Chains A and B, each alone.
Chain A
Amino acid sequence: MHLVSRLKLHCGNVLRELVKNKILFLMLSPVILYFVIFHYLVMPGAYVAFVDFNISKGIFASKFVGLDNFEFLVKNGDLWNITKNTLLYNFAFLALGNVIQIVFAIMLYEISSKWFKKISQSVLLLPHFISMVIVGVFAYNMFNFKTGFINTMLVSLGLDRYEFYSDPGIWKYIIVAFKIWSATGYGMIVYLATIAGINNDLYEAAYMDGASRSQRIRYMTLPMLKPTFILLLLFGLGGILKGSFDLFYNLIGTNSVLYPQTDIIDTYVFRSLVGQFNFSMGAAVGFYQSLFGLILVFTVNLIVRKIEPDSALF
């Protein structure tokens, strides 16, 4: 009885709020409707990972198979391979990316020419605004066998053409290079904002005391960047199972020769959707990615809350 009356009271409160602030609710409703339809309605659909999906029956009428889909993926080695690739690529992006971003942020801060600063910042940021389709065009422009720029150079030097698109090994480096190419400007600006936030008096005091430029970088700038670096690294680790689908798909596409070393979770899920029409298998991988991703974010957030409570996400 007690519970029922409390529930009634609660509903009454909600209703009163609804009437009082009906305009506000109305204004918020399009966005909430969007998130309910395109996110919350999708979530129960993850159930498709546990059935043998039959498109005419729909998700919930298909035959329940428990963990069979997951078992199959573990046994044939696919899950291990794409997880390994995703992790390794993201580690490379994170570690190499952040170090390069810090180095460039410091360099940009240390130079004195204003116009050089401005122009190089603009140019370095430009790749961030280009679609990955264009990056795919760049790769084609440079690496294709018959007309690619690199092969033009090789031939003009009297060397043999190189078939990039049938050598899986080399794409590891090309992918990482394009990622660095497109992400450096953005990350650099984040670090630059942190450096600019360091109190200028500190630098001046150090200067008065006769600290050299390298001493200032080593004993002031770098230690001050450490918290930002650790935070960005940690949050990066939280998303380490999420792959950059658009980068990989536009560089590799449907070239199956390159898959062994370039297939990540997201490209695998995509192929199970458009290529093989194996919805349940793809959904199983997707669910595995979302679930472990969530666990990772919570773990990372716990760590962040310990070391720097203000920066925690929740």
Chain B
Amino acid sequence: MNNTVGKEDAGSLFIKAISYLCLAIFALACLFPFVLMISSSFMREDEIIREGYKLIPNHFSAKAYELLLNNSQALYKAYGVTIFITVVGTVSGLIMMSMAGFVLNRKDFKYRNFFSFLIYFTTLFAGGLIPSYILMVKYLHLKDSLFAMILPGVVGAWSIFLMRNFMKAIPDSLYESATIDGAGDFRIYWQIFMPLAVPSLATIGLFSALGFWNEWYNGMLYIQSPDKYPLQYFLQRMINQTNIQALINQGAVINTADLPSQSIKMATAVLATGPIILLYPFAQRYFVSGLTIGAVKG
């Protein structure tokens, strides 16, 4: 800043000071709900009932976590379901979308514009919730199936176009020399393009995984058996219920009066968000690159 000293007038300094202040306030506002949630989850139940959730509790207690981790079969099952749909959905989606992106980028593929439009049009007009519900339940028989939470979100039009644009950056000469060497289309895709596309696969894969991790909507629509609830839907049900006894412990006996319902609700939310918060610092730069590319192109 040495070169600007002397030229910074009062107005400029004022703008800078205000900027620091506003950014700091907004950043605190972004963090506040998380902090409140975490400290609420460590409160003692009697204190919550007597005085309500607090930012700084009088007493510290990890009883909610103890109970959840020791007794709640349902929570582990929900974790299992969410991990399953996240892994299966992300991996299969990435394979399908990268193949499509590869084909749609091939200039010698005659119908690429037709197929691109076929995909694009679905972002403009949708049949609607009711017809797709009827299709899923009455014709595809996906009610109460884990695939009802995987299939609807497995590929996305924007991600395919993002993939295609990433592939555009790979020089055509690579493809041409591989053809001359006698490699088939699939081999070119798998052995040449895929290794080069790793950064873009990471970006799109992270978005896709995040979508599956946060999945609750299709679970709410289609899933009936409690042991197939995804994590977020499990959490949503718990928040909306006064008596969470049945949701928590399948089998184990806990006295309802001893059940710290209010702190358990918050502890479940912490456990459901935890992995995102922990991975966020590492994954963030992929997110940001994906966001800006998506925004500029789309």
- State the A residues within 8 Å of B (CB): 17, 21, 23-24, 27-28, 30-32, 34-35, 37-46, 48, 55, 58-59, 103-104, 106-108, 110-113, 116, 119-120, 122-127, 129-134, 136-138, 140-142, 146-149, 151-152, 155-156, 181, 184-186, 189-190, 193, 207, 210, 212-214, 217, 245-246, 250, 253, 266, 269-270, 272-274, 279, 282-283, 286-287, 289-290, 293-294, 297, 314
Contact = CB atoms under 8 A, between A and B. Distances in A.
Contacts, number: 272
A112 B236 contact: no
A147 B49 contact: yes
B47 to A, nearest CB: 10
Contacts of A152: 51-54
A290 B126 contact: yes
Nearest to A215: B11
Contact of B106 (A24, A125, A270, A290): A24
Contacts of A48: 130-131, 134
Contacts of A212: 9, 11-12
Contacts of A112: 1, 16
Contacts of B36: 138, 141-142, 149
A48 B131 CA distance: 7
Contacts of A274: 221
B12 A133 contact: no
Interface in B272-295: 272-273, 276-277, 280-281, 284, 287-288, 291-292, 295
Contacts of A134: 232, 235, 269, 272-273
B205 to A, nearest CB: 14
Which interface class (under 10, 10 to 19, 20 to 34, 35 or more) fits B?
35 or more
Interface string B109-145: 1110001001110101111111111110010100000
B82 to A, nearest CB: 11
B30 A131 contact: no
Contacts of A126: 30-31, 34, 277, 280
B177 interface: no
A288 to B, nearest CB: 9
A270 B12 contact: no
Nearest to B276: A129
A210 B9 CA distance: 11
23 contacts: A21-B110, A27-B99, A27-B102, A37-B140, A104-B23, A108-B23, A111-B19, A120-B23, A124-B30, A125-B287, A125-B288, A137-B269, A142-B36, A146-B52, A149-B53, A189-B292, A189-B295, A213-B11, A282-B129, A286-B131, A287-B128, A290-B125, A290-B127
Contact of A116 (B20, B54, B102): B20
Contact of A45 (B8, B110, B127, B155): B127
Among B7, B11, B20, B55, residue most surrounded by chain A Cβ atoms (within 10 Å): B20
Nearest to A184: B26
B156 to A, nearest CB: 10
Nearest to A131: B214
Nearest to B216: A133
A294 B135 contact: no
B262 interface: yes
Given A111-B23, A214-B12, A138 B37 contact: yes
Interface of B: 1, 7-9, 11-12, 15-16, 18-20, 22-24, 26-27, 29-31, 33-34, 36-37, 40, 48-49, 51-55, 96-97, 99-100, 102-104, 106, 108-111, 115, 118-120, 122, 124-135, 138, 140, 151-152, 154-155, 157, 160, 184-186, 189, 210, 213-214, 216-217, 221, 232-233, 235-236, 239-240, 262, 265-266, 269, 272-273, 276-277, 280-281, 284, 287-288, 291-292, 295-296
B129 A286 contact: yes
Contact of A294 (B15, B125, B138): B125
Contacts of B15: 110, 213-214, 217
Majority DSSP secondary structure for residues of A touching B: helix
A282 B130 contact: yes
Given A124-B27, A133-B214, A290-B125, A38 B99 contact: no
A127 B99 CA distance: 32
A147 B217 contact: no
Contacts of B8: 213
Contact of B109 (A24, A42, A116): A24
A257 B10 CA distance: 52
Contacts of B269: 134, 137
Contacts of B155: 31, 34-35
A142 B100 contact: no
Contact of B129 (A132, A246, A270): A270
Contacts of A140: 239, 265
Nearest to B266: A141
Given A27-B100, A269-B129, A190 B292 contact: yes
Nearest to A25: B103
A30 B27 contact: no
Given A110-B19, A213-B16, A273-B133, 5 more contacts: A24-B103, A30-B96, A147-B52, A147-B53, A149-B52
Nearest to A235: B298
Contacts of B280: 122, 126, 129
Nearest to B293: A193
A286 B128 contact: yes
Contacts of A217: 15
B169 to A, nearest CB: 18
Among A107, A148, A274, A287, residue most surrounded by chain B Cβ atoms (within 10 Å): A107
